[in-house]
Structure 1
């Protein structure tokens, strides 16, 4: 894997900027990249902090441009799609996509959903043909790895956990990841943030250990 696309979505600061407002998910993302680069410093990393540079929400103008047949867009429509084109090219070039996200109201942050809405696009990440019957969508990107690093205020969102049915973050990202070309999906997270007790500290430490193990596995020949 020669190219990593690293997407952060927390509004909090990165590690070290302010101890009282440090983003746990961003911290885990930094740990992943630092661990990776120690083992393979030839990897190219493209980084986006969506909170500091939010994606635009899609609009009627965006839809009109995105659904215009290839080669038919006006210059104005091409400008409307510039951000989408840039995000798409970054995804297309990536071998591994690293997304970090806190759980917001049991789902993904708005900026991350906006990024997905800009990237997932007809004739770019999928095709649509009613001749295929009830399953008209076919994917266009393949062979990528998606890693999701999360932070939650409560706990028990994993499969079999007491809040499994309330988790609309991991399952949603995993589903949309298929349209990014992700054939492998890994999720690691910390819990108990709002409890501020030893369970929270243990959860962060365990997440960092899992990240180190995952990096080793992904880089194994």
Structure 2
């Protein structure tokens, strides 16, 4: 894994726990791979435009190679984001859980990179839609923070965690199925309780930096 694309989704800056935890991994990973390439993409503190009618019309134009210039312009930013994704081996997404899902900027990024003909294909089998992923050979690391406890696998609030589910589903749909999630929970609980969860997350991230 010689190239990393880091997606930062928190709208907070230095106060963001997910950002800080991701930096623990990224710093350790770069220390072990000094010749590697790291690219950052901001979705939490920079505008990622939502999909609109012009985007949809251009993305699903029946002859992609003959799109009018205006449609090419409508897809230019999406093309840039897809190119970033395809040009890196490891995807690192740092994100808080917002109201049981991901921040709006990260959702907009997902909508921009799930692209027919670039990251997935669509065919009809007896009139029934069939989908095939086009992205191969990539891993994803999701570094997340949650206000409460029990949102992880087997937790009492797991069914309310639509953030991990959304990311796993969207990334898996385009072909990224090797996904690791590292979470710190309990920011809204006692400070000491959250500190323990953060320390455990840091330890896991340092171990992953050695493994990847």
Shorter-chain TM-score: what band? over 0.9
Paired residues, number? 211
- Is the CA contact 1:96–1:144 (under 8 Å) kept in the aligned structure 2? yes
- Is the CA contact 1:97–1:146 (under 8 Å) kept in the aligned structure 2? yes
1:110 paired residue number: 104
- Is the CA contact 1:91–1:180 (under 8 Å) kept in the aligned structure 2? no
1:54 paired residue number: 47
1:152 aligns with 2:137: no
- Is the CA contact 1:10–1:51 (under 8 Å) kept in the aligned structure 2? yes
Q: State how far apart, in whole Å, the 1-side matches of 2:211 and 2:114 are.
A: 29
Q: State how far apart, in whole Å, the 1-side matches of 2:129 and 2:197 are.
A: 40
- Is the CA contact 1:32–1:215 (under 8 Å) kept in the aligned structure 2? yes
Deviation at 1:135, TM superposition (A): 5.3
Aligned partner (choices 130, 153, 156) of residue 136 of structure 1: 130
Deviation at 1:134, TM superposition (A): 4.2
Q: State how far apart, in whole Å, the 2-side matches of 1:133 and 1:46 are.
A: 41
Q: State how far apart, in whole Å, the 2-side matches of 1:118 and 1:51 are.
A: 15
SS in structure 1 of the partner of residue 64 of structure 2: coil
1:203 aligns with 2:200: no
1:162 aligns with 2:186: no
Aligned partner (choices 104, 108, 113) of residue 119 of structure 1: 113
Q: State how far apart, in whole Å, the 2-side matches of 1:192 and 1:40 are.
A: 32
SS in structure 1 of the partner of residue 115 of structure 2: coil
Higher RCO (CA 8 Å, separation ≥ 6 residues): 2
Aligned partner (choices 165, 170, 177) of residue 171 of structure 1: 165
1:24 aligns with 2:17: yes
Distance 1:159 1:133, change over 3 A: farther
Describe the superposition over 1:46-68 as per-residue Cα deviations: whole angstroms up to 9, x where unpaired: 10111222210110111000011
Aligned partner (choices 24, 28, 32) of residue 39 of structure 1: 32
TM-score normalised to structure 2 length: 0.96
1:8 paired residue number: 8
